[in-house]
Structure formats: structure tokens, C-alpha cells
Amino acid sequence: MTGKMKMLARIRHIFQDIQKFHRYFVYRMYHINDNDPDIRVIFLLIFIHFAHVLTFFFLALEFLSFNLYVFSKIELILLMTLFIILHYILFYKPEKWKEYTKEFENETKEEKRKGSVLVWGYLIVSLMLPIFLPVIYYSNI
């Protein structure tokens, strides 16, 4: 196998790991309790992805030095509505989420403990990063 083939195989493996973590994250959030798991999962995905967008914009603004268009309130409302609708269309798949149960239901206690640490760590860092990254960055200027 050439160096390029090895690199492509490694990248494919990384994306498979990311997809597996996404499935595991949805599985764990789906099974927190039995009160409206579909709604909980889609709203968590919306919040997390929005936090990622905010983090990306902050990093792009600070390190790529481009000017960001300033949206009016109506434009922001329309963009957020579009963001939520797209999430519903792209990610709201309760039938698929139930399949994730089959994939992960036989995890050991040790796997569940490690998975809990990863899932909650990802959730906390994802939601806190867009808040603390600018604070830390601007406090050191």
C-alpha cells in the first residue's frame, strides 16, 4: 500500500469513528429517560450544532480575518428557523435511532462508563466552548 492509500484508509477510519460516536451519542441521549426521547435528541443536536457554528464563526473571524455580514433581527430569525427546519429534516430519524439501541445495548459496564464520560464531556465542551473561547482569547489581549 502506498503512502497515499494509507492516508486515505486512515481518514476513512477516522470518519467511521466519528459516525460511530454520533450514533452512540444519539443512543445515550435517547435513553436518558422515557419522557419524549425524540424531542430531547433533536433539540440537543440543534443546540450542539449551533454551538459548533458559533465556535467556527469565532475562530474564522479571529484567525482568518474576514468580515462577517451583520444580520438584522429578522434575518437572524429566518436563519435560525431554517437551521431548525434543516435539522429536523436531516437528523430527525427516530426509526434509525431505535436501530442504534441494537448496536449498543450489549455494552459492558466498563464500556458504558467510558461512553458516559465521552458523551457528557462532548456535550459540556461543545456547549461551553463558544462561551469561554472568546472570554479566554480576549482576556489575554
Domains in the chain, number: 1
**H or E element at residue 122:** helix 109-139
Do residues 100 and 22 make contact, with C-beta atoms less than 8 angstroms apart? Answer: no
pLDDT at position 111 is 93
- pLDDT at 65 > cutoff 80: no
User: Residue 57 is part of which domain span?
Assistant: 3-139
Over residues 47-74, mean pLDDT: 81
Residue 137 confidence class, pLDDT cut points 50, 70, 90: confident
Q: Please give the model's pTM, rounded to 2 decimal places.
A: 0.76
pLDDT at position 68 is 67
Over residues 111-137, mean pLDDT: 89
d(CA 39, CA 126): 19
